[in-house]
Amino acid sequence: MTRFTSPIAEQIWDMKYRFKEAGGVAHDATVEDSWRRVARSLAAVEKDPAAWEEKFYHALEDFRYLPAGRILAGAGTERSVTLFNCFVMGTVPDSMAGIFDMLKEAALTMQQGGGIGYDFSTIRPRGAPVKGVGADASGPLSFMDVWDAMCRTIMSAGSRRGAMMATMRCDHPDIEDFITAKRDPARLRMFNLSVLVTDPFMDAVKADGSWDLVFKGKVYRTVQARDLWNRIMQSTYDYAEPGVIFIDRINKMNNLNYCETIAATNPCGEQPLPPYGACLLGSINLARLVKDPFSAEAALDIAELTDLVATAVRMMDNVVDASRFPLDAQAEEARNKRRIGLGVTGLADALLMLGLTYGTEEAAQQTEDWLHAIARASYMASAHLAQEKGAFPLFDRDKYLASGSLTEMDEDVRAAIAEHGIRNALLTSIAPTGTISLYAGNVSSGIEPVFAYAYTRKVLQPDGSRTEEEVVDYAVQMYRDMFGADAELPAYFVNAQTLPPLAHVRMQAAAQKWIDSSISKTINCPEDISFESFKEVYMAAWDQGCKGCTTYRPNDVTGSVLTVAAEKVETKKEDEVAEHTGDVVYIADPLDRPETLEGQTYKIKWPESEHAIYITINDVIVGGRRRPFEVFINSKNMEHYAWTVALTRMISAVFRRGGDVSFVVEELKAVFDPRGGAWVGGKYVPSILAAIGGVIERHLVETGFIAGEGLGLKTDPRAEAIRVGEKPRGPACPNCGQYSLMMVEGCMTCSDCGHSKCG
């Protein structure tokens, strides 16, 4: 008998969390072996490892407590990887040497598998004078481009590229460029962007007052606060970025506001962190703790929850001692404060089991009550740990109890902290759980609503073919098992496609009251929501006490990503269950080749190479506009023959599919030859492939396909790439290539293979 309730759960375990050697030989024969490996590793720092190993194993058993993916994949493997998910890096100095020192630290952190966050507000604005060199500053966005290129070249642990968050204060002189940076589809693709919004700015927005853009005390210009707010909203409405972080609220509510200032978050925003801060994440699976589901007696077992939370806190505290860290400063920061981020997953499923409609006042109150119970249990467990093992080194009793969320904490918990101290400075956070929720049987993610009751997933077979299987939400499957496959789902079964945006805000605000860090949550907005109604969502998030806000509105720019068929909530049957479909495409078939094409041939003379390389690029006219169609690469050097033929065929195949093919240039230019590059035409080129990418880029600029070197498309590729009557699609999954990405908790997650940008 397997512990997995669905095939996708077992596949996720096998792909991401099962311990295997480089050649694919599995150390973990079963998921029980994985639980045992993690339990034994985290119990090793205890005085009685054997006893705690059993306690930890029981918490992991049947997916009740879900450590974050890095812990599941890395604990007990002795691999040189960090068990922490994400880091906020050090403050970026406003100097060239300091900036590139920070770049090196970022690369070392990503190499071990950590996502990173940076505040770029500390870099002087574009055009500011640079003393001593007689030049003007290029501004923070130019250095963000350097970070972006670095991130593309480093593969994180777990075979996924690193994720990055960039923040900028709302009063930085370059904030308007930051807000609109993602309008260029080729720029900053490895970053999530968020604006640090202050309390005075929100006051000015509401009062329609003026707002100074300032750097180091100098006012560069003054704008209307409401105009700047509308620019943020318009960019988010059109491009789903930037997000909004209410930074003053975060610092005011921080338990450690007496010894740290926060200016950035991890890539998904649920962990606001100080310089070199790290986030250590895990989730209680609420869907597994409901007794007598779908009955009048249905209830969450609070006694079991309290015990499970205490065990989870101890396990996470042990990770601080068991983990490796990319940088010494990160290790010191983690051990001085021992912050953890315990959250939940399966909330929406648990509410369904109690017959509650997600987004209603009743569901919000139940959510608040459950999270209060988790916060209470977490803080009490950490106080007892402090009695046994000592408080975190920077603990100051009077300052701690007077700060942040502690002012609202239960009196008996405050008394325990006053007597014993507390082991972990911060304890709660709600992180993205897209992948681990699939691993746990497709429970609803985090505090998100059920995305869809069921969908069809394409599964890659060993022979290269794909089969389809139905993936059903955990609570829906339980309801079917109890009442029959044909039983109608009750009206309280709602999903992300049918909920009004303000219902999402209500749930996020209810959860935030007892979360001492922050929450990763996506507020799904309908495509036809008006701009004024869209702005109301963000203002509601501010008014209701949220620490940030992230929305997703499918449109012609972001793409539909994943469409779900409409359904009637009142009379759902199995054959009416919503499906994820991939029917939104750019071009399904390659463009036909005309008899003749216009093109140009370029010559590359690579140093130390006996023969030159010739690159011919032919173009086609589509809709009155010239675009690349095919590439031929030739050389007399037979050493290059095989790879130049392969490259010719691959690039030409991409070009013939249409759409935005400028990424080909980006990928080629990012290739670094470990033997070293060469100086060509006064510029350092890191490899022959990068040189070819540069030639293609120059051709695309000269023919007007892209706006300039390092820039994106000159015009929207959808103008000539979409067939009449088709909707634009979202991006393909970088892991499996399927168009099955959905926005969950601020993070694109593939419903076919389980890949998640954020973990």
Is 215 within a domain? yes
Cis upstream peptide for 242 (omega within 30°)? yes
- What are residue 683's DSSP bridge partners? 680
- Percent of the chain whose pLDDT exceeds 90: 58
Residue type, position 689, single letter: L
**pLDDT band per the 50, 70, 90 thresholds, residue 562:** very low
pLDDT tens-digit profile of 533-559?
Answer: 999 999 999 999 999 999 999 876 665
Q: Is 230 a catalytic residue?
A: no
**Number of domains into which the chain is organized:** 2
**pLDDT band per the 50, 70, 90 thresholds, residue 648:** confident
Check 251, 266, 318, 555 and give the catalytic one: 266
Tell me the average pLDDT across 608-633: 80
> 152-161, 366-375, 486-495 — which is least confidently predicted?
152-161
CA distance linking residue 335 with residue 394, whole number of Å: 10
Q: What was the pLDDT predicted at 687?
A: 83
Is 77 within a domain? no
CA nearest to 87, candidates 122, 111, 123, 121: 111
- Residue 582: phi and psi, rounded to 5, are -115, 40
> 296-305, 317-326, 460-469, 701-710 — which is least confidently predicted?
460-469
Select from 265, 289, 309 the last residue of a domain: 265
Q: For strand 155-156 and strand 160-161, is the pairing parallel, antiparallel, or unpaired? A: antiparallel
Alpha helices by DSSP H, 703-746: 718-721
Q: What was the pLDDT predicted at 690?
A: 86
**pLDDT band per the 50, 70, 90 thresholds, residue 724:** very low
Is 498 within a domain? no
Tell me the average pLDDT across 389-403: 97
> 72-81, 305-314, 409-418 — which is least confidently predicted?
72-81
What is the pTM assigned to this prediction? 0.78
Is 167 within a domain? yes
Tell me the average pLDDT across 404-428: 96
Decide if 309 contacts 374 (C-beta within 8 A): yes
Q: For strand 272-273 and strand 264-265, is the pairing parallel, antiparallel, or unpaired? A: antiparallel
Is 119 within a domain? yes
Is 683 within a domain? yes
CA nearest to 231, candidates 166, 174, 189, 190: 174
Per-range mean pLDDT, top range of 133-137, 306-310, 750-754: 306-310
Torsion of CA 101, 104, 106, 110, to 10 degrees: -170
Q: What is the mean pLDDT of the chain?
A: 85
pLDDT of 606 above 50: yes
Select from 212, 244, 265 the last residue of a domain: 265
Instruction: Say which CATH number the domain at 203 has.
Output: 3.20.70.20
Check 105, 241, 270, 630 and give the catalytic one: 270
Q: What was the pLDDT predicted at 682?
A: 66
pLDDT tens-digit profile of 498-538?
Answer: 899 999 999 999 999 999 999 999 999 998 999 999 999 99
Select from 227, 246, 265 the last residue of a domain: 265
Q: What was the pLDDT predicted at 193?
A: 95
Q: Is 266 a catalytic residue?
A: yes
CA distance linking residue 746 with residue 748, whole number of Å: 7
CA distance linking residue 490 with residue 476, whole number of Å: 11
**pLDDT band per the 50, 70, 90 thresholds, residue 463:** low
| Residue span of the structural domain in which 120 resides | 86-265
pLDDT tens-digit profile of 168-182?
Answer: 999 999 999 999 998
Alpha-carbon torsion (57, 60, 62, 65), positive or negative: positive
Return the H-helix or E-strand segment holding 291: strand 290-291
Cβ count within 10 A of residue 192: 27
Is 240 within a domain? yes
Tell me the average pLDDT across 55-62: 97
CA distance linking residue 49 with residue 43, whole number of Å: 5
**Angle in degrees, CA 679, 682, 683, rounded to 5:** 60
CA distance linking residue 111 with residue 81, whole number of Å: 8
pLDDT tens-digit profile of 84-143?
Answer: 888 999 999 999 999 999 999 998 888 777 789 999 999 999 999 988 777 889 999 999
**pLDDT band per the 50, 70, 90 thresholds, residue 588:** very low
Is 688 within a domain? yes
**pLDDT band per the 50, 70, 90 thresholds, residue 434:** confident
CA nearest to 534, candidates 552, 518, 521: 552
pLDDT of 585 above 60: no
Return the H-helix or E-strand segment holding 507: helix 501-512
Check 86, 268, 549, 733 and give the catalytic one: 268
Cβ count within 10 A of residue 447: 29
